[in-house]
């Protein structure tokens, strides 16, 4: 069985790492280069950096930041935010990113997934999906969770895979920042329906939540932010716990 991955996520705004709850109440928590290097030393398997206020004006600044991050990391990292055309991909990969992730732009123009997959390969592309459970139906949201679309989570994830996505990063907006656990049921359904890895995001608060999302949720990787940013759980400590729970992880 492949090892399960632990992935700290760093949301970037104006060059600083920030964190919110349910996509709101955002505050700064630290320097993304230093934090990334620390997580790598502690045993993180990968990192995700998301420019949450990406605009055309600050895209070059983000590429410069990616270059600094790459110089201090020895683990793979994914970057996203403001990738609206295939032309936006080259500067990030050239700067040292291992993968890119697209979210809102993919929903608006699904052909972008196909184009990037053909140009760079599916292994470089993660399709992120922000979804909220409303009256027992999971709807896809865009623009940082601000705009509800008519798309349904499971149908959209299946289309993304068919178009060439290499992984799906699923964030439950209902669970994001709450520390009450991941959306295990929805994650398990995604994992069963798809033939590509599923990264679970939103809701990590205790070590048992990681165990549950790997067992009940059948996730391939678990992403978290605040519990790592505020030193509530150490990555090494978490991995030893998971190993004790018979979950395959790299120590």
Residues tagged active-site: 11, 130
Dist CA 82 CA 59 (whole Å): 7
Query: Which class for 74: exposed (0-12), middle (13-18), buried (19 or more C-beta within 10 A)?
Result: exposed
How far apart, in Å, do the first and last CA atoms of the chain sit? 15
Dist CA 202 CA 222 (whole Å): 9
CA R_g for the chain = 17
Is 175:148 a contact under the CB 8 Å cutoff? Answer: no
* Paired tokens of 88: 């936006």
What one-character-per-residue DSSP string does 97-111 give?
-SEEEESHHHHH-TH
Dist CA 218 CA 235 (whole Å): 20
CA 246 → CA 42, 105, 122, 135, 239, distances in Å? 20, 39, 30, 35, 11
* Paired tokens of 216: 């009940």
The strand pair at 137-142 and 77-80 is best described as unpaired
* Paired tokens of 126: 């993660």
């Amino acid at each position: 069985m492949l090892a399960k991955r632990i992935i700290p996520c760093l949301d970037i705004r104006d060059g600083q790492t920030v964190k919110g709850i349910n996509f709101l109440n955002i505050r700064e928590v630290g320097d993304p280069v230093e934090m990334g290097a620390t997580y790598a030393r502690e045993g993180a398997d990968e990192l995700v950096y998301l420019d949450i206020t990406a605009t055309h004006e600050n895209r070059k600044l983000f590429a410069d930041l990616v270059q600094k991050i790459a110089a201090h990391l020895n683990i793979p990292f994914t970057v996203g935010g403001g990738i609206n055309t295939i032309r936006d991909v080259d500067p990030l990969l050239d700067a040292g990113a291992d993968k890119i992730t697209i979210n809102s732009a993919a929903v608006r123009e699904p052909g972008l997934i196909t184009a990037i997959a053909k140009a760079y390969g599916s292994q470089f592309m993660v399709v992120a999906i922000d979804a909220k459970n409303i009256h027992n139906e999971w709807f896809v949201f865009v623009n940082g969770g601000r705009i509800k679309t008519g798309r349904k989570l499971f149908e959209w994830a299946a289309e993304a895979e068919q178009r060439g996505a290499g992984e799906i990063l699923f964030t439950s907006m209902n669970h994001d920042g709450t520390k009450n656990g991941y959306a295990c049921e929805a994650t398990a359904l995604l994992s069963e329906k798809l033939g590509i890895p599923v990264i679970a995001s939103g809701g990590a608060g205790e070590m048992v939540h990681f165990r549950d999302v790997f067992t009940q949720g059948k996730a391939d990787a678990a992403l978290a932010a605040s519990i790592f940013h505020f030193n509530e759980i150490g990555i090494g400590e978490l991995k030893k716990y998971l190993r004790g729970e018979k979950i395959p992880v790299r120590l």
